[in-house]
Structure 1
């Protein structure tokens, strides 16, 4: 199965613990990720959070399983999506300037060849939108 990896770095005005706490809350992803319209079935076990995110693609709804692993300065989310698409988003948080955070999100997408272009394009678009929205929310 083809695998694509890409990264994006940006700065938000909030300190790393505030960014981490926001990204560790599944409810934050509604609107943070432009396709996510609902979150349900949240389960917490220490630094691991599992939940179902509901994505909207036009008239269609797509339920995806997400597992967040929360570290002191990093969050890794593993996504299992229909169509055998698997996505990992690793977010590293580094103090920046006078109280801000440099956020680097590295995304790895594994998808069948037929879905590769679509899955990678969607993941890149969501990554860029999520960066803008996170900077706006925590600015």
Structure 2
């Protein structure tokens, strides 16, 4: 299986505890990823939370496809991590490392994208990178209410 590693480090003007609380809640991911429009079937288990995210893709401006992805989320002392399983042979491992940074938090957003073949990996990694970069701005904007 082919893979691609993506990393982005950014500052959020909120304390690590507030960022951790936000990233620990499945409903927070609606809009945090510009593709995620809904979260459903949340199951909290000891040590992890599992849920289904609905990613909405638009093609040619009017064709819509809702991709249902299975997400596992775990909180650690250093942040949040987990896995995403998407139909079609795409899997992501993710980690949000959180560290105090002045009056805020430094977030290290690391994604490892796995796909069954090269062209699919290039497409999935490209979309994941777009989401990763957008997430930095969304999380920084949300920090005012954390």
> 2:94 maps to what in 1?
89
> 1:118 maps to what in 2?
123
TM-score of the superposed pair, with normalisation by structure 1 = 0.96
What displacement does 1:116 show?
Answer: 1.2
| SS of equivalent residue, structure 1 residue 34 | coil
What is the correspondence of 1:9-88 to structure 2 with a 5 Å cutoff?
9-58=9-58, 59-88=64-93
Give aligned pairs, total: 138
Q: Distance in 2 between matches of 1:2 and 1:72?
A: 30
| SS of equivalent residue, structure 1 residue 41 | strand
> 2:110 maps to what in 1?
106
Q: Distance in 1 between matches of 2:47 and 2:104?
A: 23
TM-score of the superposed pair, with normalisation by structure 2 = 0.91
Give 4+ residue runs of structure 1 displaced > 3 Å after superposition: none
| SS of equivalent residue, structure 2 residue 14 | coil
